[in-house]
Amino acid sequence: MEFLLKYLKFRRKVIFAFFICFILLLLSFALYHLPLMAVVYPMGLFCLGSILFTAVDVYRTLQKHNKLVQLQSLTAELIDEMPSIETQEDEDYQAIIHLLRDEQAQLKNRMELRYADMMDYYTTWVHQIKTPIASMRLNLQNEDSEFSRKVAEDLQRIEQYVEMVLAFLRLDSESTDYVIRRYDLDEIVKSVVRKFSTQFIRRKIRLQYEPLHTDVITDEKWLSFVVEQVLSNALKYTQNGTISISMEQPNTLCIRDTGIGIAAEDLPRIFDKGYTGYNGRSDKRASGIGLHLCKRICNNLGHTIKAESAPGSGTVIRIGLDQSKMELE
* Cα 114 versus chain centre, distance: 21
Q: Which helix (H) or strand (E) holds 302?
A: none
Whether residues 69 and 182 fall in one domain: no
Exposed e or buried b for every residue in 259-278, given b needs 16+ CB within 10 A?
bbbbeeebbeebbeeebbbe
In a domain, 302, yes or no: yes
Q: What is the pLDDT of residue 278?
A: 61
In a domain, 173, yes or no: no
In a domain, 231, yes or no: yes
Among candidate residues 21, 42, 73, the one where a domain is terminated: 73
* CA dist., res. 196 & res. 232, Å (int): 8
Exposed e or buried b for every residue in 176-187, given b needs 16+ CB within 10 A?
eeeebeebebbe
Q: What is the pLDDT of residue 320?
A: 93
Paired with 253 in beta bridges are 247, 319
Whether residues 69 and 188 fall in one domain: no
The string of pLDDT tens digits covering residues 137-167 is 787 777 777 787 788 888 888 888 888 887 8
Residue 286 has pLDDT above 70, yes or no: no
pTM: 0.64
Q: What is the pLDDT of residue 186?
A: 93
Whether residues 185 and 310 fall in one domain: yes
Whether residues 182 and 69 fall in one domain: no
In a domain, 161, yes or no: no
Whether residues 212 and 68 fall in one domain: no
Among candidate residues 55, 73, 91, the one where a domain is terminated: 73
Whether residues 202 and 319 fall in one domain: yes
pLDDT band with cut points at 50, 70 and 90 for residue 190: very high
Domain of 309 in residue numbering reads as 178-329
The string of pLDDT tens digits covering residues 60-107 is 878 877 777 777 776 666 666 677 777 777 777 778 878 888 888 888
Among candidate residues 73, 92, 123, the one where a domain is terminated: 73
In a domain, 172, yes or no: no
Whether residue 178 contacts residue 219, with contact meaning beta carbons closer than 8 Å, is answered with yes
Share of the chain above pLDDT 70, in %: 88
Whether residues 191 and 316 fall in one domain: yes
In a domain, 190, yes or no: yes
pLDDT band with cut points at 50, 70 and 90 for residue 193: very high
Mean pLDDT is lowest, of 10-14, 182-186, 188-192, 233-237, for 10-14
In a domain, 128, yes or no: no
Whether residues 201 and 322 fall in one domain: yes
DSSP secondary-structure letter at 255?
Answer: E
Whether residues 66 and 182 fall in one domain: no
pLDDT band with cut points at 50, 70 and 90 for residue 208: very high
Q: What is the CATH number of the domain that holds 314?
A: 3.30.565.10
In a domain, 299, yes or no: yes
Q: What is the pLDDT of residue 173?
A: 66
Domain count, the chain: 2
Whether residues 184 and 66 fall in one domain: no
